[in-house]
Amino acid sequence: MVAEIRSGRLSTRVVPVSLFIWIAIEIAIYLAIGRHWLGADWSTAIFGTAGGLLGLRAGINGVTWLYAMNHASPAAPLGFARRFRLIVGEYLAFLFTFVAVLPFERLWMPADRLSPGARRPLLLVHGYGCSRGVWWLLRRRLEVAGHTVATVSLVPPYTSMGKLVPQLNRRIEEVCAATGAKQVTLIGHSMGGLVCRSYLARHGIARVAQLFTLATPHAGTELARIGFGQNAREMEPDSLWLRDMAQEAVKIPATGLRNAYDNYVMPQDNQRLPGARDVELPALGHIAMLYDVRVFRLLLEHCPPPGPSA
Quickly list H helices, 96-221: 105-108, 136-144, 165-179, 191-203
> Quick one: which of 255, 256, 282, 286 has its CA closest to 269?
256
151: left (phi over 0), alpha (psi -120 to 50) or beta: beta
Q: Is residue 10 pLDDT above 70, yes or no?
A: no
Cα 126-114-8 angle, rounded to 5 deg? 55
Give the rounded percent of residues in the chain with a pLDDT score beyond 70. 95
Each residue's pLDDT tens digit, 27-63? 999 999 988 888 899 999 999 999 999 999 999 999 9
In the chain, domain spans? 11-106, 110-302
Q: Mean of the pLDDT values across residues 132-154?
A: 97
| Cα dist from 237 to 86, 124, 210, 216, 294, whole Å | 25, 25, 26, 13, 29
| Cα dist from 10 to 14, 78, 126, 157, whole Å | 8, 43, 16, 11
Distance of CA 36 to the CA centre of its chain: 39
Number of neighbours of residue 202 by Cβ within 10 angstroms: 13
CB crowding 78-100: b at 16 or more within 10 Å, else e: eeeeeeeebbebbbebbbebbbe
Using CA atoms, how far apart are residues 53 and 56, in angstroms rounded to an integer? 6
User: How large is the greatest C-alpha to C-alpha distance in the chain, in angstroms?
Assistant: 69
Task: Report pTM.
Answer: 0.93
Q: What is the dihedral of CA 38, 41, 43, 49, to 10 degrees?
A: 20
Using CA atoms, how far apart are residues 216 and 4, in angstroms rounded to an integer? 30
pLDDT at 11: 60
Q: Which CATH number fits domain 110-302: 3.40.640.10, 3.50.50.60, 3.40.50.1820, 3.40.190.10?
A: 3.40.50.1820
Using CA atoms, how far apart are residues 198 and 263, in angstroms rounded to an integer? 24
pLDDT at 33: 94
Could you tell me how many helices (H) and strands (E) the chain has, helices first?
A: 11, 6
Q: Mean of the pLDDT values across residues 89-104?
A: 97
